[in-house]
Amino acid sequence: MAVVRLEVADGVGTIRLDRPKVNAFNAELTAQLREVALEASRRADIRAVVIYGGERAFAAGADIKEMAAKDYAGISVWVSELSTTFETVARLPMPVFAAVTGYALGGGLELALCADFRILADNAKLGVPEILLGVIPGAGGTQRLPRLVGPARAKELVFSGRQVGAEEALAIGLADAVVPAAEVYAEALRRARQYVDGPALALAAAKRAIDDGLETGLSEALRLETGLFVGLFGTEDQKNGMESFQQNGPGKATFTGH
């Protein structure tokens, strides 16, 4: 049974989580999410991605029943698979939006942190409550969260395990927009479609430069940026963009994604 689907329309791929009732992560959902993300990364007809868990919940964390039964060796494999899946999502070479309704807790929030932007419903509740189970976030929560909201705020959320509402998430930089729950998916699609006709290779290079650059020292990051910049001079979009600028002014180029 498919608990993750890839739906493509008008250049946007929607990665739809669909494991009742609240998209809890088990081995099946994790494996299917990785397969779908890999497919999205390879498809030329996908220029942006929206991750959506449906109207009820984005993802309410791990399947605790499955996780609690694991021994040391079993949980090592389980969390390694989850982390690899989330890294696959984070490495998608196009703009990625998380459309969050209801709960995004534990692994659900860790998945949302893999997106470039988070659009929250006004009923959203976010948190990393693992400390309340006697453990810590294990699939990116202690690493991606402080890079987004700063170490002190991240520590408070991780240490307490408390949930934050949509408005607080927006105030601390955990969300990029808050909209009524009925509009969250449409708003994420609207924002994603802004990039569909853009220069796909340049967008991928920009994403890599920012994400990888944050993981290195400034000198190495600047070299990465320069290499990616130079590499784009072998693309059709660079030629089209610069010719259009000279002939018609800025912002009027037609890009092919090549």
Q: DSSP string of 66-99?
A: HHHT--HHHHHHHHHHHHHHHHHHHT-SS-EEEE
The conformation of residue 175, written as its DSSP 8-state character, comes to -
* Residue that the structure tokens 């609690």 belong to: 68
Tell me the mean pLDDT in the region 252-256: 89
The pLDDT of residue 62: 86
Name, in order, each residue with C-beta under 8 angstroms of 1's C-beta and a sequence gap of 6 or more.
none
The number of angstroms, rounded, from the C-alpha of 178 to the middle of its chain's C-alpha atoms is 17
The number of angstroms, rounded, from the C-alpha of 157 to the middle of its chain's C-alpha atoms is 20
72-79: long-range contacts, CB 8 A cutoff, minimum separation 24: 78/27, 79/138, 79/139
Please, where in the chain does CATH 1.10.12 lie? 200-248
Determine which of 112-126, 138-152, 235-249 has the lowest per-residue pLDDT on average. Answer: 235-249
Cα gap 58→55, rounded to integer Å: 8
Q: Which residue has the higher pLDDT, 68 or 165?
A: 165
Confirm or reject CATH 3.90.226.10 for domain 4-193, answering yes or no: yes
Are residues 60 and 22 in contact, defined by beta-carbon separation less than 8 angstroms?
A: yes
Tell me the mean pLDDT in the region 61-82: 91
Tokens of 43: 């498809």
Residue 1 confidence (pLDDT) above 90 = no
* Residue that the structure tokens 């942190």 belong to: 113
Please, where in the chain does CATH 3.90.226.10 lie? 4-193
β-strand partners of 15: 6, 51
Are residues 202 and 229 in contact, defined by beta-carbon separation less than 8 angstroms?
A: no
Provide the pLDDT confidence category of residue 230 given band limits of 50, 70 and 90: very high
Cα gap 102→256, rounded to integer Å: 37
Are residues 90 and 70 in contact, defined by beta-carbon separation less than 8 angstroms?
A: no
Are residues 88 and 42 in contact, defined by beta-carbon separation less than 8 angstroms?
A: no
The conformation of residue 132, written as its DSSP 8-state character, comes to G
The pLDDT of residue 23: 95
Provide the pLDDT confidence category of residue 185 given band limits of 50, 70 and 90: very high
CATH of 200-248, one of 2.30.30, 3.30.160, 1.10.12, 1.10.10: 1.10.12
Name, in order, each residue with C-beta under 8 angstroms of 252's C-beta and a sequence gap of 6 or more.
244
Rounded to 10 deg, the angle between the 27-42 and 72-90 helix axes is: 30
Whole-Å CA distances, 204 to 49, 104, 231: 13, 27, 12
Provide the pLDDT confidence category of residue 68 given band limits of 50, 70 and 90: confident
Residues taking part in catalysis: 62, 107, 110, 130
This prediction's pTM: 0.95
The number of angstroms, rounded, from the C-alpha of 135 to the middle of its chain's C-alpha atoms is 24
Are residues 240 and 254 in contact, defined by beta-carbon separation less than 8 angstroms?
A: yes
The pLDDT of residue 67: 86
Whole-Å CA distances, 170 to 66, 126, 177: 33, 11, 7
Are residues 117 and 131 in contact, defined by beta-carbon separation less than 8 angstroms?
A: no
